[in-house]
Amino acid sequence: MRRSLTLAGLPLLAGSGAAHGRPAAPERFVVYYSNQARVTDFAPYRWAVLDTDFHPPLPGIIAQGATTFGYLSAGEAERNRGYFSAIPPGVLLDENPNWPGSFYADVRRPEWRALMLDQLLPALLARGFQGVFLDTLDNPPFLEVRDPRRCAGMTAAAAELVRAIRARHPRLPIMLNRAYELHAAAGEAVDIVLAESLLGGYDFARRRYQAVDADGVRWGMARLAELQRAHPRVRIFTLDYWDPTDTAGIRRLYAAQRRQGFVPYVATVDLHRIVPEPRA
């Protein structure tokens, strides 16, 4: 049985809630990691997070009014990326069990920092992306907790990497996926925080979509409340995963996130298709 997607009993974050008067049209963003969608499929969206290597033509998406963010895995490396074979020995750690073929990175290593700052980010911008989406930077805090002795200093190194990107590109829109532990040190360097799997997630072991349990929701909401208190200008986007055939469940997720003042998107876990928001 699916758990209820209600947020009853949870405090609203500062600034959330419906505005007085006639409500404005909802803001929309999309995350899409393939190149098969048509440019016109992006017309409803103000922001588009796309795979850096495989994506529809950027000029057409931008011409429709969307700001495009290129994907940059800043805490993990995938074997199928062109740069993988050039990563020096010792920079990559063990394989991510949820994503076979993707390996945790030691973000403390200068070789990794140079790869991000001097190669991958400039290449992303040269492709025509207007912003960068920093993913997998929740790995360093996770690794440091898992093995404090071996991974000491990873969280601080990850925050320093974000600050270094901002220092090199002062006007670059930066979206950071989760990595809530970094925000005390790097929050001012970030424009948008993406709260992934805040309400709806995916169980990789059982291969099914499911609601995040109440404790997980409270934990995520508390981190976002802390973030908004410390960095009021940072915007909150949410990315939930849900069965694309369950339109009622998707509709509830959108409504729950908007009640908090967030900008939501609900997707399939592989992000290889655009799932339009169901009509009311």
Whole-prediction pTM value? 0.90
Q: Are 250 and 277 in contact (CB under 8 A)?
A: yes
Please determine, for residue 4, whether its predicted confidence score (pLDDT) is greater than 60: no
pLDDT digits (tens, 9 = 90+) for 178-217: 999 999 999 999 999 999 999 999 998 899 999 999 999 9
Coil/strand/helix, residue 207: coil
Coil/strand/helix, residue 47: strand
Q: What is the DSSP letter of 120?
A: I
CA distance 238 to 226: 16
Domain ranges, ordered by start, for the chain? 29-267
The average pLDDT across 252-275 equals: 97
> According to the model, what pLDDT value does residue 23 have?
59
CA distance 121 to 100: 24
In CATH, the number for domain 29-267 is 3.20.20.70
Coil/strand/helix, residue 107: coil
> According to the model, what pLDDT value does residue 25 have?
80
Residue 172 Rama label (left phi>0; alpha psi -120 to 50; beta): beta
CA distance 168 to 191: 15
The average pLDDT across 138-159 equals: 97
Token pair belonging to 238: 């949410």
How sure is the predictor about 16, in pLDDT bands with cuts at 50, 70 and 90? very low
CA distance 252 to 231: 28
Q: Are 27 and 66 in contact (CB under 8 A)?
A: no
Token pair belonging to 245: 């055939």
